[in-house]
């Protein structure tokens, strides 16, 4: 049997960059995608391409999740070269942080274009192949703020709530087709996400908040301190390990949501207390068999 094929978005840094090697070592052919691999992201692209010298099946492709043309081209190339796509890791994302009112409408839109619309664009592109195979796995990188709502990250929080809801809804729709959809919810981890977070452009609006407007800066400083003093707890490899574990788990046995990190700020508690809500909802509308791939398969066998 040929090696399973994984497409990972946002591999220029963070979880995506770190995921390519262990996923390849676990037996996958990994297509590590990113924006501008031959220009602004040439260095991480070179590092990932060098893994092939170690005998690892890692390929680097250009893919901007906000571009229909790039997404379609990348997926078409993978299907041509491999004939299948078994795993999609929707990792690409950006963060806007600060006084929410100070975001422009364009900035709010950008947050959703990358984190939500871009995720949907790539998911929609790979699903035809997975449907033909009657198998596949979608891994959506959400966040603990997809379950809780801290202040001063309003646009980012809203985008991750959207990702969380989309990932759950897709799970039920795709279960009868043998396709799994799971959500990974990391706590704060020491990646470039916070360092590269975009602050709102309307500084006058932020200044109008007075001392309250200074709170976002204090929050970012607190995160920097946490990353410096809690290195083991905020090591992004923990998230990578969780994703590799989910990929290696048989279909039908993967949990819908996986929180990673000790500083989950109550998100794990939310998941624990609401874990039966989806099942109850499905039961009320006569769709209990759609709970996961295993229950859907069992219903088709009866």
Known catalytic residues? 12, 142, 156, 160
List, in order, residues 6 or more apart from 112 with CB less than 8 Å away.
155, 158, 159, 162
Strand partners, 137: 87, 180
Q: Among 300, 267, 83, 96, which residue's Cα sits nearest to residue 183? A: 267
List, in order, residues 6 or more apart from 268 with CB less than 8 Å away.
259
C-alpha pair distances (Å), 236 with each of 32, 114, 190: 17, 21, 6
């Amino acid at each position: 049997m040929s090696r399973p094929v994984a497409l990972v978005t946002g591999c220029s840094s963070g979880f995506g960059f770190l995921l390519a090697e262990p996923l390849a070592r676990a037996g996958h052919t990994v297509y590590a995608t990113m924006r501008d691999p031959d220009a602004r992201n040439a260095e991480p692209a070179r590092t990932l391409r060098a893994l092939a010298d170690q005998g690892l099946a890692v390929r680097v492709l250009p893919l901007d999740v906000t571009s229909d043309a790039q997404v379609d081209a990348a997926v078409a190339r993978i299907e041509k070269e491999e004939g299948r796509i078994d795993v999609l890791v929707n990792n690409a994302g950006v963060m806007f942080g600060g006084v929410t009112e100070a975001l422009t409408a364009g900035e709010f839109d950008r947050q959703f274009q990358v984190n939500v619309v871009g995720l949907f664009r790539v998911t929609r592109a790979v699903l035809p192949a997975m449907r033909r195979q009657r198998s596949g796995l979608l891994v959506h990188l959400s966040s603990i703020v997809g379950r809780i709502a801290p202040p001063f990250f309003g646009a980012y929080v809203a985008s991750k709530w959207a990702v969380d809801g989309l990932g759950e809804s897709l799970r039920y729709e795709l279960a009868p087709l043998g396709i799994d959809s799971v959500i990974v919810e990391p706590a704060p981890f020491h990646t470039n996400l916070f360092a590269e977070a975009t602050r709102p452009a309307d500084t006058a609006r932020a200044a109008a908040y007075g001392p309250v407007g200074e709170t976002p800066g204090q929050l970012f400083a607190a995160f920097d301190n946490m990353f410096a003093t809690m290195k083991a707890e905020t090591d992004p490899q923990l998230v990578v390990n969780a994703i590799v574990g989910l990929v290696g788990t048989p279909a039908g046995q993967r949990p819908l949501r996986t929180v990673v990190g000790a500083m989950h700020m109550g998100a794990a508690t939310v998941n624990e207390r609401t874990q039966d809500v989806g099942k109850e909802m499905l039961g009320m509308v006569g769709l209990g068999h759609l709970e996961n791939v295993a229950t859907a398969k069992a219903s088709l066998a009866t």
